[in-house]
Amino acid sequence: MASSTIRLCGPCEARHKTMTAVSWCIDCDDGLCSQCLEDHKYNKATCALCVPKKHKQCSRLKSIDELACHAKTSTELLDIERGIKDLENTLDELRNDRQRNIDAINYQKEIISGKIKSFKNQINKLLNKLELEWITQLEFHSDKYISKIDTLISQLNERETKVKSLGETINQMKETCSDLQVFLATKSLGEKLREELESVSTLCNQDAAKESVLKLSIDLQLENLLSGLKGVGAIQVVQNPCQVKAGAWEQQRAQLDVPITAVKDIDQTELKLIREISIGSGTGIKDCVLVKDGRMIFANDNNNMVLVQTPEGLLSKSISVDKSPFGLAVISSNTVAVTCRDDKTINIVNIDDCVVKQKIKVGKPCCGLSYHDDKLYVLVARTGIMEFDLAGNIIRTIPIDVPNSECYLSYYKDTFCYTCYQILDERYIACCDNNGSEIWRLGVADSGVTADNYGNYFASNSDSTLQIVSADGKKTKQLLDLRMGSYLEGVFFDKNSSTLLVSCSSGTASLYRVI
């Protein structure tokens, strides 16, 4: 039997005094309530008490055709269509994400291959230098001692000639001289022999007569290093969690879809306080953002931390990052980026695992940060807006005037809006196009800035006021004027929930509904 939510006709309603769901009899195709269906199983005649055959006599029971006439435009079918579209988008996003990963791997392979060749060349250069030094020393010492030995051999040959001459003299004396003459000459021959003996003894005591042995003496530390060296490096693979999540349709069905229209008059914009938040980690709070599940993220400049607060405003996690975190940008539901001014880096932070999974070297003090379409845009002091991909490669630099490292940035539809604070009473908010050409500039803000769904900008002043500036820069409206000493810093507008998060450097924040 198939179930339905059809109200029963008059007779059945009168009988049961309630509206009861209808089921369909398999045998006769009659529409019956659950009570009549039990009777129907045993006595089909009782069907007449509820619904006559084929409902021909029922005036209030709607037909299936009538109920199905709006099926093509039903909310349930629309939800399913949206779910199919979302799943198609998820598959497409995952495919594109994996293709980007392939491109990134090929690029990383090229970079690492270059580093390996460079490292090899450095090692070869060092080994060639070492070989040349050792060969030079080897040639020097071998030539030196061979020369000494050659000199000694020449001296030995001279001595040998004189000793042989003495022997020949004795043989001649024996043949030609009388015994008396031999007797008289023997003493003289003995003295000459002793002289030759002394000369040879002197030669035997020279350095050249010593055994010369060439050896290679290698530094003990180098030998220990080489003996314990298993290798000079290895290729590592780090796998980060997939950022593409399926089922976003189910999560977003209950959320309000916020239409993005071309223009909204800022005079209509009001703020309604949702809650006040005590961050509870001291002063030094700079930028702030909201992720999809409602968690609030803050940059704590004094403690070098990224703080994660629950949607209810309770401190959940504290994540250590590089020195002086300032600007924040949302990359995904569990990943944010933060600029670290003193270390001149951008840290990519997984707020679920509480780890910095990547560091991008900027090379200069960096402050305001924005993310769009897999690109990070960062304000760099005395340089401009630098554009990076998520692999950390710099794509381009957009030249604008960034006087110091305490400026904020927001990106909206190929335009940049940024605020700067130089010295007392020298502050401004400016808007420029994608090439850095200034569109407008106003002296009404100096701290956090964020765009709403219509291209208008919420911008804060460190003097505790919050403004909204129209997209064309022609109108402004003050939305907040907090007590002195609040020192407004970061602002972030969540386009899905139409909520605005505002942070103060003193360690407090507020969440507002934008109406």
pLDDT in tens, 155-197: 889 888 888 888 888 888 888 888 888 888 888 888 888 888 8
DSSP conformation class of 212? P
Report how far apart, in Å, the C-alpha atoms of 509 and of each of 368, 406, 504, 512 are: 19, 19, 6, 10
For residues 116 and 193, membership in a common domain is answered with yes
How far apart are the C-alpha atoms of 95 and 2, rounded to whole Å?
40
Q: Are 490 and 328 in contact (CB under 8 A)?
A: yes
Please compute the mean of the pLDDT values over residues 363-373 and round it to a whole number: 95
Helix (H, G, I), strand (E, B) or coil at 419: strand
pTM of the entire structure? 0.53
DSSP conformation class of 498? T
pLDDT higher than threshold 90 for residue 493? yes
Q: Considering the domain boundaries, does residue 122 fall inside one?
A: yes
Percent of the chain with pLDDT over 90: 40
For residues 162 and 282, membership in a common domain is answered with no
Token code pair at residue 333:
């539901």
How far apart are the C-alpha atoms of 193 and 159, rounded to whole Å?
11
Sheet holding 476-481, edge to edge: 449-451, 457-460, 465-469, 476-481
Q: Are 174 and 182 in contact (CB under 8 A)?
A: yes
Closest to 436 in 3D by CA, of 472, 397, 467, 395:
397
Report how far apart, in Å, the C-alpha atoms of 412 and of each of 113, 445, 477 are: 38, 18, 20
For residues 375 and 466, membership in a common domain is answered with yes
Of residues 441 and 194, more confidently modeled = 441
How far apart are the C-alpha atoms of 493 and 291, rounded to whole Å?
11
Task: Quickly list H helices, 177-299.
Answer: 179-204, 220-228, 248-252
pLDDT higher than threshold 80 for residue 79? no
Which of 150-154, 328-332, 464-468 has the highest average model confidence (pLDDT)?
Answer: 328-332
User: Could you read off the pLDDT of 4-22 as tens digits, one per residue?
Assistant: 444 444 445 444 444 444 5
For residues 438 and 292, membership in a common domain is answered with yes
DSSP conformation class of 483? P
CATH number, domain of 401, equals 2.120.10.30
For residues 55 and 152, membership in a common domain is answered with no
Residue 190 belongs to domain spanning: 105-199
For residues 187 and 270, membership in a common domain is answered with no
Percent of the chain with pLDDT over 70: 77
Number of domains present in the structure of the chain: 3
What pLDDT was estimated at residue 476? 96
How far apart are the C-alpha atoms of 96 and 491, rounded to whole Å?
32
Sign, CA dihedral 134-135-141-142, equals: positive
Please compute the mean of the pLDDT values over residues 131-156 and round it to a whole number: 88
Q: Strands, DSSP E only, in 279-324? A: 285-290, 296-300, 305-309, 315-320
Q: Considering the domain boundaries, does residue 147 fall inside one?
A: yes
pLDDT higher than threshold 70 for residue 440? yes
Q: Considering the domain boundaries, does residue 95 fall inside one?
A: no
User: Could you read off the pLDDT of 448-457 as tens digits, one per residue?
Assistant: 999 999 999 9
For residues 328 and 428, membership in a common domain is answered with yes
User: Which one of 73, 89, 122 terminates a domain?
Assistant: 73
pLDDT higher than threshold 50 for residue 273? yes
Average pLDDT across the chain, whole number: 81
Q: Are 497 and 263 in contact (CB under 8 A)?
A: no
